[in-house]
Structure 1
Amino acid sequence: MSDPTSPILSTPPAVQLYTVREQLAADRVGVLAALAGFGYGAVEPFDVLTDAPGLRDDLDAAGLAVCAVHAPVLSEDVDALFDGARTVGADTVIVPVAPPERFGDRDAVTALAAELNAVASRAADAGLRLGYHNHEFEFTDVDGTPALVVLADALAPEVVLEVDTYWAAVAGQDVPALLRRLGDRVRYLHVKDGPVTRTDPMTAVGAGRMPVAEVLTANPAVEWRVVELDDCATDVLAAVGDSLDWLRDNGFAHPAGGGSDR
């Protein structure tokens, strides 16, 4: 895994800013500087409406790129969200969630795919790519097939998936096999670890039960691997740094700027 031409090492390590949402609210400049100091080179913002110009300035000051943004374009102002995404420097907008009932049967999934395809067309007109991010309920059985796979088959070719590997595992999926099945559709991963339960806190990557190495090597089409902890029982910034240390030590990341500033 030390080959610098490996697809796994072709982009800098990234982190979803939702992980440090509470810390950002208190000290955005300091938290972004800390992430860069750990060796992260990119982030995935979850709010591009509140202060996109200020966030862009702070990201630039920290030397952090934007790999994508999460934006609820199915339920909020699409044009404003697209403007915010472009302002912070994103080229991809990822729908963070859709209601669970939209995965209840084939008709519901097909209708959701049609809506995503329509929004993807608007995104393309704005110079952006659209994606969808899963939780665990997207793996309900639809005629013998996980609903997320049914969705993928109904999406327009330009719509990508960000597979949340942890929630897929919570749903009982063999995650490496799922990633191989979804193939080129998957361009982003949420890389997480923990006890693989619905309610217990997550851990730093490498400290839980996820088969992280197998997940990271399952699909060469993946462009970005984004560390995220939804909840953490320990110091979350320390866990974010420990996650990157594990990825580096196991050959899955080249920290930006050379290393861990801790």
Structure 2
Amino acid sequence: MNQQAQQSRPTGEGSHPLLSVQLYTVREALAADLPGTLARLAELGLEQVEPFGILTFDGLADGLAAAGLAAPTAHQGFLGDDPRAAFERARELGVSTIIDPFTQPERWQDAGEVRRIADQLASASEVAAEYGLRVGYHNHAHEVASVLEGQTALELLAANLPDAVALEVDTYWVAVGGADPVALLERLGDRVVALHVKDGPGTEDTLDQVAVGQGSLPVRDIIAARPDALRVVELDDSRGDRFQAVADSIAYLTSEGLA
């Protein structure tokens, strides 16, 4: 974090060095008032956030600096494209791990295609190293629901990746995909550098998602399975106010000693 960011950090709330929040959760608020929304997140005690779509996110660097927030991880699609613009932007933002957030479900129905995705990530990783970056991949349900060669397609991907490529496991979508997120995290091991920590009944309807601690996912066990991973709070959507859900999630994780 730069000196300006350190000096501008709000005080009054305890800090949460293991927590982050995926900014997609508060996308409407960001569109209306990016600096103000980032400042509100910092006031919750957050020290870092996870941006999305960084190639088209105007004003993000200044907003992060003003709020005293770092962005160690960020989402930006880069597979199948020349990734250099994305990697350059990530470096400008101080990102260390840039994560491809989505690949079409049909690509995960064939083992050969999954291996091609692994090859693409490996190739991108070599380019990312020139920028001092690590690349990663973030799952949805389809990478887990698809079973190939006796394992989930996500595990097949992991088995074919070089060590330099990381995974960010969205534990909610793992559950939606029909797998036990705790057991899957244990099998994937140290390649998992970040978790999307979210809660709800484990349905495909994103409106069913709720603040962490108010749903049915075994949050404590999930975090215990990868205790060193960054814990990124996210709601894809919700029937309630999502900013309040972020605040409630942080309060819950803090009260349970998970922050």
SS at match of 2:113: helix
SS at match of 2:54: coil
Q: What per-residue deviation string (whole Å, max 9, x for no partner) do you get for residues 231-254 of structure 1?
A: 01111111110000000000011x
Q: CA RMSD in A?
A: 1.4
TM-score by length of 1: 0.89
Identical-residue share of aligned pairs (%) = 49
Quick check: 1:11–1:223 contact (8 Å CA) kept in 2?
Answer: no
Q: Distance in 1 between matches of 2:93 and 2:41?
A: 17
SS at match of 1:207: coil
Q: Which runs of 5+ in 1 are unaligned?
A: 1-8, 254-262
TM-score by length of 2: 0.90
Quick check: 2:16–2:45 contact (8 Å CA) kept in 1?
Answer: no
Structure 2 counterparts to residues 76-91 of structure 1, below 5 A: 76-91=81-96
Answer with 70-79 or 240-249: which moved more: 70-79
Counterpart for residue 125 of structure 2: 120
Deviation of the 1:13 alpha carbon: 1.5
Counterpart for residue 109 of structure 2: 104
What residue identity is the alignment partner of 1:129? R
Deviation of the 1:109 alpha carbon: 0.8
Counterpart for residue 217 of structure 2: 210
Deviation of the 1:50 alpha carbon: 2.3
Q: What per-residue deviation string (whole Å, max 9, x for no partner) do you get for residues 186-208 of structure 1?
A: 11100000111001421000001
Counterpart for residue 240 of structure 1: 246
SS at match of 2:99: strand
Quick check: 1:176–1:218 contact (8 Å CA) kept in 2?
Answer: yes
Q: Distance in 2 between matches of 1:182 and 1:66?
A: 24
Quick check: 1:166–1:192 contact (8 Å CA) kept in 2?
Answer: yes
Q: Which runs of 5+ in 2 are unaligned?
A: 1-14
Quick check: 2:140–2:170 contact (8 Å CA) kept in 1?
Answer: yes
Q: Distance in 2 between matches of 1:223 and 1:136?
A: 20
Answer with 203-212 or 75-84: which moved more: 75-84
Q: What per-residue deviation string (whole Å, max 9, x for no partner) do you get for residues 27-50 of structure 1?
A: 111110110111111000002212
Q: What per-residue deviation string (whole Å, max 9, x for no partner) do you get for residues 48-78 of structure 1?
A: 21245x2111111111111211010114441
Identify if the C-alpha distance between structure 1 residues 10 and 166 changes in structure 2 by more than 3 Å, giving closer, same or farther.
same
For residue 133 of structure 1, the aligned residue among 138, 146, 155 is 138
Deviation of the 1:223 alpha carbon: 2.8
1:49 matched to 2:55? The reply is yes
Quick check: 2:17–2:46 contact (8 Å CA) kept in 1?
Answer: no
1:11 matched to 2:17? The reply is yes
Q: What per-residue deviation string (whole Å, max 9, x for no partner) do you get for residues 198-222 of structure 1?
A: 01421000001111011010124x4
Q: What per-residue deviation string (whole Å, max 9, x for no partner) do you get for residues 101-136 of structure 1?
A: 221121111111111100111011111000000000
Deviation of the 1:147 alpha carbon: 0.5
1:154 matched to 2:160? The reply is yes
Deviation of the 1:84 alpha carbon: 1.1
Structure 2 counterparts to residues 56-67 of structure 1, below 5 A: 56-67=61-72
Runs in 1 of length 4+ with deviation above 3 angstroms?
A: 9-12
1:39 matched to 2:45? The reply is yes
Quick check: 2:171–2:195 contact (8 Å CA) kept in 1?
Answer: yes
Structure 2 counterparts to residues 168-187 of structure 1, below 5 A: 168-187=174-193
SS at match of 2:124: helix
SS at match of 1:43: coil
Between the two proteins, the alignment pairs up a number of residues equal to: 243
Q: Distance in 2 between matches of 1:89 and 1:133?
A: 20
Identify if the C-alpha distance between structure 1 residues 11 and 223 changes in structure 2 by more than 3 Å, giving closer, same or farther.
farther
What residue identity is the alignment partner of 1:196? G
Q: Distance in 2 between matches of 1:164 and 1:41?
A: 21
Q: Which has the higher relative contact order, 1 or 2, with Cα contacts under 8 A spaced 6 or more apart?
A: 1
